[in-house]
Structures are given as C-alpha cells and as structure tokens.
Amino acid sequence: MLISVDREVCQGHGQCAMVDESLFPLDPAGYSAVGDDGVAVEPGKEEDAELGVNVCPVQALRLD
Ligand code: SF4
C-alpha cells in the first residue's frame, strides 16, 4: 500500500496529519509532504491510511 498526493490539489488543510503524522507528514507551510515516491504504509496502519485519505476535503490523497 502506498500513499501519494497531488500537490497541486492539496490546500494545506492538515486533516490527514491529524489522523497520523508519520503516514501524512506536512511541510512547514502545512501542505502535504508526502514525497514523489509516496509513503509506504506499514503493516497494521492500513485503517489509518484509508481514514487519512478519506478525510482530505479536496481529495488530494490517493491510496494504491
Ligand atoms: S488533508 Fe488534503 S489538503 Fe489537507 S494537507 Fe492533507 S492532503 Fe493537503
């Protein structure tokens, strides 16, 4: 499982990081810092990954 972000869509709402900061890191300006390679979801964190993706109000995050 891999989390990725469309940085052109992210508006820095930060709800994703409230679910889990290690899965959804933010840059100093509050925008998603999920890198170009995405963030690999560790075993046992799948539910948080789905929740974090789903709380983004602008659907900037993707889970593959
Ligand atoms: S919740 Fe969505 S808009 Fe907000 S920081 Fe996360 S990816 Fe960006």
Residues with CB under 6 A from ligand 1: 5, 10-16, 24, 31-32, 56, 58, 60-61
Alpha helices in the chain (DSSP H): 15-19, 46-55
pLDDT of residue 29: 97
Determine the structural domain holding residue 55 and report its residue range.
2-63
pLDDT of residue 35: 86
Domain count, the chain: 1
Work out the angle at residue 31's Cα, subtended by the Cα atoms of residues 45 and 15, and round it to the nearest 5 degrees: 50
pLDDT of residue 36: 83
CATH number at residue 9: 3.30.70.20
Q: Counting atoms of ligand 1 from 1, which one is nearest the CA of 12?
A: 5
pLDDT of residue 18: 98
Side-by-side strand order, sheet with 61-63 = 39-40, 2-5, 61-63
Q: Counting atoms of ligand 1 from 1, which one is nearest the CA of 52?
A: 1
What is the per-residue pLDDT across 1-59, written as a single tens digit (0 to 9) for each? 999 999 999 999 999 999 999 999 999 999 999 988 899 999 999 999 999 999 999 99
